Amino acid sequence: MSNTKVLPLLEPAAESVAPCCPPVTERPFTAEEAETAARMFKALGDPVRLRLFSAVASHEGGEACVCDISDVGVSQPTVSHHLKKLKEAGLLTSERRGTWVYYRVEPSVLAAMGKLLTMAPTPA
C-alpha cells in the first residue's frame, strides 16, 4: 500500500495579483499609486539594493539564501539593512530556514513593475 498523494496544481500567483499602478502613459497616478511606485523606485535607486534585487531575481530556483548574495562590496549588517529596505518596499519576501534567511522576488512583483513602465496601447 502506498502513502503517496497527488497534490493539486496551483495557478501562478502572477495572474492573481493586480499591479500596483497603471502604466505611466495610461493616466495620471493617484496619490496612493504614486506613493507605492515611488517606494519601489526609491528602494531600487541605490546601486547595492539594485544588485541585491538582481541577485535574488536571477538566482536559480527564484530564491536565494542571504549567504549566496551577500558579496556586494559592503559589510553583512549593511546587506541586511538593504534587504530590509527591499522587503519594506514590497519587492522581496523572505523565509527563515534554520540559521539562514532565503529571499525571493514574487513573479507578480516583476510583472507589476513591467506593466508600470509599459506603454499603454494607442487608440486605432
Residue by residue, DSSP assigns 50-91 as HHHHHHHHHSGGGEEEHHHH--SSS-HHHHHHHHHHHHHTTS
Instruction: Return the DSSP state at 18.
Output: -
Any bridge partners for residue 63, and if so which? 104
- 61-82 tens-digit pLDDT: 889 998 888 888 899 899 999 9
pLDDT digits (tens, 9 = 90+) for 39-66: 888 999 999 999 999 999 999 888 999 8
The structure's pTM equals: 0.73
DSSP-assigned letter for residue 25: T
